[in-house]
Structure 1
Amino acid sequence: MNQDTICAIATAQGGAIGTIRVSGPEAISITSRIFKPARESKSLSEQKPYTLTFGRIYDEEEIIDEVLVSLFRAPHSYTGEDSTEIACHGSSYILQQVMQLLIKHGCRMAQPGEYTQRAFLNGKMDLSQAEAVADLIASTSAATHRLAISQMRGGFSKELTELRNKLLNFTSMIELELDFSEEDVEFADRSALRKLADEIERVISRLVHSFSIGNAIKNGVPVAIIGETNAGKSTLLNVLLNEDKAIVSDIHGTTRDVIEDTINLGGITFRFIDTAGIRETDDTIESLGIERTFQKLDQAEIVLWMIDASEASSQVSQLAGKILPRCVGKHLIAVFNKSDLIETSQCQSIEHLFAQEFPQEHTDLIFISAKQKVQTDELEQKLISAAHLPTVTQNDIIVTNVRHYEALTKALEAIHRVQSGLDSHISGDFLSQDIRECIFFISDIAGEVTNDMVLQNIFEHFCIGK
């Protein structure tokens, strides 16, 4: 694959400047065939690396554009190959013309993520750093940006390398004993090995447990909006998103499926999930929607229970038994909507009912009018407080990738078996097998043992040009 020279447009449409990237063994020579420096100077192939050359792109005698060409020579480039970057004017016509010329002279169109894949294959970065490139491009908040930068700089990789080296030292001592088993020689101090296993277990556990925070930062804190029909769930979603995302109607059962969208509040991304209203119904489609409501409730970290304040007593008594048992360990906010339609004395009665019926820990209450946008700003502040996400810096090591989380979980299971084996004094060959499994899963994150199918799955989700 790396014998091909590839090209792709690397910038989004609509800008004043468009950049085309060329990488591969013939990148410089192919670019030279369509590019002429503006002044009487050295040809592109004779230029030093890290230089910019102004000139024109030609299709035979016809001038296509005036451009700047950046030159990089292997191995000191993003991909580790000879590379050029052609900065054209941003016209889509010009960019396509230049692309066609490059392909005509020997390039082929790059596949999604192929530049970063070549960087990985050429040893410019490990697999976790390559995946961080995609996360950096997709970052939508300061926190996701910082985590992606930290991973791309190799903070995560360094921690994994240290773990792997300790494990390798660990297993080498065990396997040395196996080589001298007939002499009954013990090279590995079992108490020292147990201490080392405990240290490794603590590090892996910390990384595994960090995924709940990392996943929330990357994909948004899941917030389920639940309640009876016509409680105002869809109206609230539209207010929070500041757009008409969900259909609002006085007809019961309007929302029959789950509607999701994200918004950034106070630097935290929330993933709001508007669900079908909970009620008894003979409508098959609506019943499926209500079933999905409870599925999304189980997945949420924060639950907004929308209650029509004018019918608070009946709605709380009817749904408390279905909702509260599913909210254990979650932050529940009881949102009494349509508060503009009730008296202050009724609000006080509802607060008294709330204090009696609801557990105090991780539970909150607020009166709003979604339609009139009363107290909705205060609700947003309650959501930010309920998220409990720490401030993230570029030095924090937090797992955000599902593939990494799964590999670390399996590594943790392996190191737990090592700890149990040391406690029960099992033979060294069994210990060595579990240690090697732990090493395998840690190495898989960095791409040292990853197969081609996994690589294809990772890089095909990149954008073209990266």
Structure 2
Amino acid sequence: MNHDTICALATANGIGAIGIIRISGEQSFEIVNRVFQGKNLEKADSHTVHYGFIVDGKIADGIGEKVANSQNPADNSEVIDEVMVSIFRAPKTFTAEDSVEISFHGSPHIAKKILEVLIKNGARMAKAGEFTMRAFMNGRIDLSQAESIADLIASENEASRKVALNQLKGGITNEISILRTDLLNFTSLIELELDFAEEDVEFADRTALKASLNRTEEKLRSLIDSFQYGNAIKNGVDVAIIGKPNAGKSTLLNALLKEERAIVSEIAGTTRDTIEEVLHIKGTAFRFIDTAGIRETTDIIEEIGVKKAKEKIETAKILLYLYDEFDSTPNEITDFIKEFYREDLKILLLHNKIDLQEASSVNIFDAELKEQLFPDYTSQIIGISAKNKTGIEQLKTELADYIQNLETQESTIITNQRHYEALQKSLESVKRVEDAISGKISTELLAYELRYALEYLGEISGEFTNDEVLGNIFSKFCIGK
């Protein structure tokens, strides 16, 4: 563990009423004391706040002297700002180290000057996520809790805030701890059997072990299944707007956003690149992607746009396919859906320009389309007029329902891709243990698979990890966190 004393701006960059600089490490009080004109911080009680001045060089001979002037020519010392300094003594701090927070007037220039004098007096600038990493390394929090801090800071809606806060309070940790305890108990018995291998005895009841593994497998599947919902509320949902050129895709995007974001023209092929905008619907971020019209073309630039559109379809979770009966046939739409259909893709067929068509004609067209699509391809038809904004609210309701249908009864929701992958690997190991018991394989191989299952679960909390993984995780944090 690095014993350097680190410092960083904890508040956002820019002008504000106040700013906060954090300092953590063994020399926190000593270093800040060198630049603080006020009470002797090394003698101050923990969790107390003290008024004074940050100076570049001590102005008065004794600590605790009040500064009379902002500049003292005698010793060339300079007052940088009037501040409040908060003292936190280890181990009851975020990092479990001695820590100080300096509250100053929120000028970026003042922040820069204070950081400069702290560094000049023995501190160094913190790396991204280094405060949180120290909290993890010092046993203050586990790895999943550390990641939840970043998620909490980045939360953009109520659902993601609640999930991140639950994880910070140890939601995932508690679930994983229960699973690991059950597996660990049986692993210990299996290891004991290895010590008495020559006596051919079984300490671990295979029937009880299998029952325990079934419970573990069920819980792992439940956590894994929660990821689709968790990922949606954390990162939003990609929605690709697809259709032929001039189908009204850009008009639909503008109608959803209630602003003229995309260029609308009667000339086919206006949209050459993808346009992405985020709209929050009932607390969830939907990332709408307006794409180039899909058709065969000899225009090189338009061809690139068509290729990008198809790539967006492959990564989208929801597909909005716009069509109108003047320029499409049920067979064309059906062929398109067949080409791009996959089980995890929700498809909404939007019959556009219904303001220009007879209701009977719309109904006949859509009835024929439904007959071709259902029940093999999951999709739904909504009549809209993107130009007149007809059907837009119904579309938003369908999108919100998509999220509601993903909701799970699981109290702990997985939102982190790393956790998701570790749970999947652990599930695979548990299934191999089950197969091993059924096949009555050797005790040694049973122990081997159980250890793997435990290790993958331990990756989530950080009990089993490596420096490269830690570096990657904490590098995504902001500097002051």
The answer on whether the counterparts of 2:143 and 2:462 sit within 8 Å (CA) in structure 1 is yes
The answer on whether the counterparts of 1:303 and 1:327 sit within 8 Å (CA) in structure 2 is no
> CA offsets per residue over residues 234-285 of structure 1, 9 Å max, x none?
2212332344443333332233333333221011222222222111112344
Structure 2: runs of 5 or more not aligned: 58-76
Measured after TM superposition, the shift of residue 445 of structure 1 is 1.1
Aligned equivalents of 2:364 and 2:329: distance in 1? 14
CA RMSD of aligned residues (A): 2.0
Question: Match for 1:453 among 462, 465, 468?
Answer: 468
SS in 2 for 1:112: coil
> CA offsets per residue over residues 124-167 of structure 1, 9 Å max, x none?
10011000011001101111111100111101011111111211
Question: Match for 2:157 among 141, 155, 167?
Answer: 141
> CA offsets per residue over residues 37-84 of structure 1, 9 Å max, x none?
2xxxx4111110000111111223422211111110111111111111
Alignment correspondent of 2:146: 130
Aligned equivalents of 2:277 and 2:329: distance in 1? 26
SS in 1 for 2:134: helix
The answer on whether the counterparts of 1:64 and 1:98 sit within 8 Å (CA) in structure 2 is yes
SS in 2 for 1:388: helix
Matched, 1:342 2:394: no
Aligned equivalents of 1:261 and 1:447: distance in 2? 36
Matched, 1:8 2:8: yes
> CA offsets per residue over residues 319-344 of structure 1, 9 Å max, x none?
32122453353332211222222333
Superposed, 1:8-407 pairs within 5 Å as: 8-12=8-12, 13-37=14-38, 42-60=39-57, 61-311=77-327, 314-324=328-338, 326-329=340-343, 330-359=345-374, 362-389=378-405, 396-407=411-422
Cα distance change on mapping 1:390 and 1:334 into 2, 3 Å:
closer
Measured after TM superposition, the shift of residue 439 of structure 1 is 0.7
Kindly provide the amino acid, as one letter, of the partner of residue 7 in structure 2: C
The answer on whether the counterparts of 2:229 and 2:407 sit within 8 Å (CA) in structure 1 is no
Question: Match for 1:433 among 434, 448, 462?
Answer: 448
Measured after TM superposition, the shift of residue 180 of structure 1 is 0.9
Task: Say which is worse superposed, 62-71 or 75-84, in terms of deviation.
Answer: 62-71
Aligned equivalents of 1:418 and 1:392: distance in 2? 28
Aligned equivalents of 1:243 and 1:86: distance in 2? 43
> CA offsets per residue over residues 156-201 of structure 1, 9 Å max, x none?
0111111112111111111111111111221111111111111111
The answer on whether the counterparts of 1:111 and 1:464 sit within 8 Å (CA) in structure 2 is yes
Measured after TM superposition, the shift of residue 120 of structure 1 is 0.5
Kindly provide the amino acid, as one letter, of the partner of residue 6 in structure 1: I
> CA offsets per residue over residues 415-458 of structure 1, 9 Å max, x none?
11000000010010000000000111111111112111111111
Kindly provide the amino acid, as one letter, of the partner of residue 10 in structure 1: A
Aligned equivalents of 1:116 and 1:15: distance in 2? 24
Aligned equivalents of 1:290 and 1:264: distance in 2? 27
Kindly provide the amino acid, as one letter, of the partner of residue 415 in structure 1: V
Aligned equivalents of 2:264 and 2:465: distance in 1? 49
The answer on whether the counterparts of 2:249 and 2:322 sit within 8 Å (CA) in structure 1 is yes
Cα distance change on mapping 1:315 and 1:262 into 2, 3 Å:
farther
TM-score, structure 1 as length reference: 0.93
Aligned equivalents of 1:175 and 1:421: distance in 2? 16
SS in 2 for 1:250: coil
- What fraction of aligned residue pairs are identical, expressed as a percent? 48
- 4+ residue segments displaced more than 4 Å: 389-393
Measured after TM superposition, the shift of residue 22 of structure 1 is 0.7
Aligned equivalents of 2:274 and 2:456: distance in 1? 36
The answer on whether the counterparts of 1:261 and 1:273 sit within 8 Å (CA) in structure 2 is yes
Aligned equivalents of 1:390 and 1:50: distance in 2? 44
The answer on whether the counterparts of 1:147 and 1:396 sit within 8 Å (CA) in structure 2 is no
The answer on whether the counterparts of 2:226 and 2:408 sit within 8 Å (CA) in structure 1 is no
TM-score, structure 2 as length reference: 0.90
